[in-house]
Amino acid sequence: MRPPPQILDALRGRYGASGIAAPVQDGYATSGGVRIAYQIFGTAPRDLVLFPGWQIVHSRMWKFQVPYLSRYFRVVAFDARGSGRSDRPETGYDHDTHAADALAVMDAAGVRRAVLVAQSGGTNHAIIVAAEHPERVSHLVLIDGAPSQAVGPERERRRREVLALFHAPREQYVGWGKLNANYFRQDYLGWLDFFIAQMMPEPHSTKAVADAYAWALDADPEILIRTRDEWWSRTPFPDLMARIQAPTLLVHGTQDRLAAYAANAPFLHRTIPGSVLTTLEGAGHAPHLRDCVKVNRLVRDFAGTPAGSHRWAHALTAKRKVLWVCSPIGLGHVQRDLTIVRELRALRPGLEVHWLAAEPVRTAVAQAGETIHPASAHLCNESAHVEQRAGEHDVNIFLALWEMDEILVANFMTFADVVERERFDAWIGDEAWDVDRYLHENPELKTAPFVFLTDFIGMLPVAGWESYEGHLCWQANAEHVQHVARYPRIRDVAIFIGDPEDVPDEPFGRDLPNMRRWAREHFEFPGYILPFDPGAYRDPRALRRRLGYRDDETLVIASAGGTAVGRALLDRIAGAYPGLARAIPGLHLLVVAGPRNPLPERAHGTDGGVEVRGYVPDLFEHLACCDLALIHGGLSTGMELIALGRPFVSFPLRNHFEQRFHVARRLRRYGHAAEMDYRELAPEALAEAVRRWAGTRPEYRPIEPGGARRAAEMIARVLG
């Protein structure tokens, strides 16, 4: 399905080979008077050059390779002439000129000898460099190559025939007949619809397809026509390939519809001396996008770069050790995980827990005295990505996750390297969707028991199932269901933090199972997990005295979670303080900014009566003695307030499907009724809500105790 214009507009114009890895050098090489844009990533002693493909894409096509390979190589990526940030001349699109451009980039980047990695049309140019400049190439990796097999007089005749077909007008353009200059000019989007569908036939390729459209819309159809006109090399490719001296890896998908496997892979393997062929069953023409984990490791291993030093442990004398991966989006995950870990250590004394965590989880875990795995420094920040896509109390969390693909791949590669080097008795992932997804896509990488935890099941489109967002949600849900059905062995234990009734009683989408029934079949339910014993906080007055609050004041606490997405809510609440103070005598308004909210020490629009604090590790203690809490729609804080019996008003983030559907439904099931729309949050409406709810004693459904112990028992089973 072609993405709608607003999606494509958001994705277009993202030049450069990575959106998350910062280049150490960004410059231009000059080749025949044409400027070729290049970037260098990493500082490793060995060089690796990523060749661009056809000008219908630019160097961002390597976004899944750059962050990972730049840990092991000094990676050089560049835009082909006529694409990206490079110049777009009228001519010069033959293969030999492209090869000269690549050499100019290597010279400008100070590359004397390198691993060359190329895909599709770029393989032609890498072959020329490897054949004519063997001293510059240590290894050669060709992905889905289709060099011309013609030699002799047949070569020129075939070229004339192909060009005639390419320029011949037709009454109708059907199938590969759309590969035609007139059709490019007449209906470029129609060409993209056909071409991209052929390029990525794999199911659930929605993000890769959207990227391909965006990159193609960054291209110029007239330049694509010129590249086809000049698709030629001085020397026949069979002659060039026979001269290659570098060790060569061929990677080819069996479902490649652009460079058919049967016609091309055996020819390349037969013609390049000593080449090694890796066949990707079921893969299309873009395995670097759709099977990126496999491609990354193939390149790393073929080039002779090991994953790093290994740690081995004797099976019977080694301590029990687990790797714990905790989602950094929000801090509710880390509090429940720490609680489970305490129970798990009681069941398995001496258990070592190593945390693979990004900020802000990393700091919270370290403050709790836990061990942070050094590889955590390589993790990309998911919270920052979500914050960048947020508006005023508004974030479409599903689309933010959908656009997080580069981060999720990079973080999974970090995880995969860690578990390759070290042996763990189990891997535990709390909403570690990257680990879960890419283990299902690469089941051969599973070498230890895997425990998966989550507090929601099922993507739900805020815009409705008939929208493009609905299409994407359906695809995500279908892939999830199919992954679990195809590889049930990936998750040794799957834990839903809550009860079956907390899962929506509705289908995952058209022709998909009912969420609740499916969850009962595939998950275990320990109940909700609290990071404290509510029974220890039954005396709010004593707690107030201990925490420094007065008995005669009305304590209202405003909190908006562990990301900066909630800043607008906190700003608006703080700004309403003068009116609140007039309406509520003795008001003490405490604004808890959290670890990623840079609120000022003195809140805007107040007379100093607002107390602003940063991250409060045991916020539940303060909530336990408040008269009212004002929160966004997060699950953890809401459930803590329910357990403590304190009144609160929630303001779910606009377009946040989890808060608006999953969390809101669960909180209502426990008796929460005070929910407001942020857009109606005028000072008068807020004052009325505070007057109405402050100091009340809501009747909540009790939360069954012992959830953490039950979850720990489930995990302990895989530890033996």
Check whether residue 507 and residue 363 sit in a common domain: yes
Say if residue 18 is in the same domain as residue 146.
yes
Tell me how far the alpha carbon of residue 208 is from its chain's centroid. 12
pLDDT score of 317: 78
Of 530, 565, 583, which marks where a domain is finished?
A: 530
- Confidence band of 614 (pLDDT split at 50, 70, 90): confident
Could you tell me what percent of the chain has a pLDDT over 90? Answer: 88
Which residue reads 């014993």 in tokens?
A: 533
Strands 74-78, 34-41: pairing is antiparallel
- Alpha carbon distances (Å) from 118 to 52, 364, 382, 444: 7, 42, 30, 25
pLDDT band at 296 (very low <50, low <70, confident <90, very high): very high
Average pLDDT over residues 405-420: 97
Q: Are 511 and 548 members of one domain?
A: no
According to the model, what pLDDT value does residue 308 have? Answer: 67
Name the residue range of residue 240's domain.
Answer: 5-151+230-302
pLDDT for position 311: 76
What is the pLDDT averaged over residues 319-343? 90
172-202, pLDDT tens digit by residue?
Answer: 999 999 999 999 999 999 999 999 999 999 9
Q: Which two tokens stand for residue 537?
A: 């906080």
Asked if residue 502 and residue 362 are part of one domain, the reply reads yes
Co-location of 502 and 546 in the same domain: no
Question: Over the stretch 12-46, which tens digit does the pLDDT of each residue have?
Answer: 999 999 999 999 999 999 999 999 999 999 999 99
> What's the pLDDT score for residue 307?
62
Q: Report helix, strand or coil for 353.
A: strand
Which range has the worst mean pLDDT, 3-12, 307-316, 391-400?
A: 307-316
Residue closest to 529 by CA, chosen among 713, 342, 710: 710
Residue 189 falls inside a structural domain:
no
Kindly report whether the global pTM for this prediction surpasses the value 0.85.
yes
Q: Pinpoint the alpha helices (H) of 168-260.
A: 181-186, 188-199, 206-217, 221-229, 237-242
Q: Give the whole-angstrom CA distance, residue 64 versus residue 53.
A: 15
In a domain, residue 491? The reply is yes
Structural domain contains residue 706: no
pLDDT value of position 597:
63
> Average pLDDT, stretch 583-611?
71
Question: How confident is the model at residue 383, as a pLDDT?
Answer: 84
Report the pLDDT value the prediction gives residue 432, as an integer from 0 to 100. Answer: 96
Task: Give residue 601's pLDDT.
Answer: 45
494-514 pLDDT, tens digit each: 999 999 999 999 999 999 999
List the single range of 562-576, 630-644, 702-716 with lowest mean pLDDT.
562-576
Q: Count Cβ neighbours within 10 Å for each residue of 237-246 and write b for 16 or more, e otherwise.
A: bbebbeebeb
Return the pLDDT at 562.
Answer: 65
CATH of the domain at 655: 3.40.50.2000
Q: Is pLDDT at 604 greater than 90 in this prediction?
A: no
pLDDT tier at 599 (50, 70, 90 boundaries)? Answer: low
Number of domains present in the structure of the chain: 3
Average per-residue pLDDT for the chain:
94
CATH classification at residue 82: 3.40.50.1820
